[in-house]
Structure formats: structure tokens, C-alpha cells
Amino acid sequence: MIAILLMGGKGERFGNDIPKQFSLLMGQPLYTYALDIFLSVNLFDKILLVIPTEYKDTIDIKNSRVQCITGGKTRQESVYNALQASPTNTDFVVIHDIARPFVSKKIILDNIEAVQQHAAVDTCYPATDTIVQSLDEKFIHSVLIRNEMYLGQTPQSFSYSLLLKAHQKAQKEGILNATDDCQLVQRLDFPIFMVLGSKDNFKITEHKDLDYAQFLLEKNIHGTAK
């Protein structure tokens, strides 16, 4: 079982010169939060840390379980690079966006348990807003039934061979910029089991998200602390 921690992005919506995962949160780089939680789960043979090429030399982690690899131009390519770099005997992979600092140990353990039974797992949280779809960014084209809607978070966990097959199929069909891995596995018509995420397992996307993360840490009411 390996973990793939994705930090290969540029953080364009965040808008700083330095990618958001290097921003300081209570004086500590954002990426260290999820990394520390994954390190505290002693069930991973390896943790692959996927880093943007230009920042590879800035990270120096002295832990033999952590291996740094180079990210790709898209999230999908970063995951594929990690699959290529995985040890040959890898059975399962647990993939997490490092931009979600407050993933809990429970969510990770629930993923590990579920993936061994179901081979494909998403971490989901019920939507509280009604989700609407627009195809032209101007008008609403459908209003989805709220109690059937969830927010897809990470970790997402898969059998290694299933995920590799999903990525290879997507590449062949010209799907190159998927925002998560479940949508690629779905294209194989493979059922994906849900484990419950949490509201605190949000993704830092904009500056306001970092301010909110800081607030939760100051109050010690973030998901990891519970």
C-alpha cells in the first residue's frame, strides 16, 4: 500500500508567485500538514511526494519512507508519473491533494479498509448548497437534487492495476486533464465506494481558504484535532 501526495500544481487560483502548498500556515509550510498525518499512519510502505520540477531541490525530507518525484503539467499527469514511479509490487494506492491540510487519520484509515474490499474508493461529503449546472457560464441548464449530491474530496484510493488501466484508457481517448481519478475509473464502469469525508477536509484554493485554515488552527477546532 502506498500513498501519493500531490503537490505538483501551480496554485493559479490562489495567485501567489510561489505555489500555495508552500504558503505558511502557523509558520509551517502548508504541505507539511497532510504529509505529517500520512506519516503518522504506519501502513504505507512508501509515500510518493509529487513536486513541481522547479521546486524539487527546495524540499529536503529525511525520511526513508518518503520519495520525491516530479509532477506533470496537469494533475492527471502528476498522478500518472507517480503510478510509473511506484514499486512493482504495489497493490493499492491512496491519493491525496496536499492542499487539503485537515484530512483526518480516520478518513485515511476508512479509505484503507474500504479499498481492500471495493478496489475503488472516493471520500465524499454531502452537499449543503444545491448544485446547479451551467454549460455556458451564463444560464442554468439543470438543478440537481440536493440530497443525491456530494462533494468529492480526497483521499481517493484504488487497486493499483485498476487505476493504471483507467489512466491508460483515458490517455488513449484523449482525456488528459481530469480533476480527479474517480472520473477516470468511472469510464471503466467500475463501481466506486464512498467513505464519509468531512467539512474540515476542504481544499485550500483561494486566499480566504488559508485565512479560514489559520482560524481553525488558532481555535484548535480543525478536523485533524478532533
User: 4 or 216, CB closer to ligand CTP?
Assistant: 4
* Range list of β-strands (E), the chain: 2-6, 24-25, 28-29, 46-51, 66-70, 92-97, 120-126, 132-133, 142-143, 150-159, 193-196
Taking contact as CB under 6 A, which single stretch among the options 8-16, 155-163, 188-196, 217-225 is the one that binds ligand CTP?
Answer: 8-16
Spatial separation of the C-alpha atoms in residues 8 and 187, rounded to whole Å: 24
Residue holding cell 500531490?
6
Rounded to a whole number of angstroms, the minimum distance from the CB of residue 24 to ligand CTP is 16
Is residue 95 near ligand CTP by the rule CB under 6 A?
no
CA angle (34 as vertex; 81, 107 as ends), nearest 5: 100
Q: Which does 36 bind (CB under 5 to 8 A by kind): Mg ion, ligand CTP, none?
A: none
Spatial separation of the C-alpha atoms in residues 86 and 123, rounded to whole Å: 22
Grid coordinates representing 3? 500513498
Is residue 46 near ligand CTP by the rule CB under 6 A?
no
Selected binder of ligand CTP within 10, 165, 169, 207 (CB under 6 A): 10
Grid coordinates representing 54? 522547479
Size of the site for Mg ion (CB under 5 A): 1
Is residue 54 near ligand CTP by the rule CB under 6 A?
no
Taking contact as CB under 6 A, which single stretch among the options 1-9, 57-65, 134-142, 193-201 is the one that binds ligand CTP?
Answer: 1-9
User: 9 or 223, CB closer to Mg ion?
Assistant: 9
Name the site residues for Mg ion (rule: CB under 5 A): 9
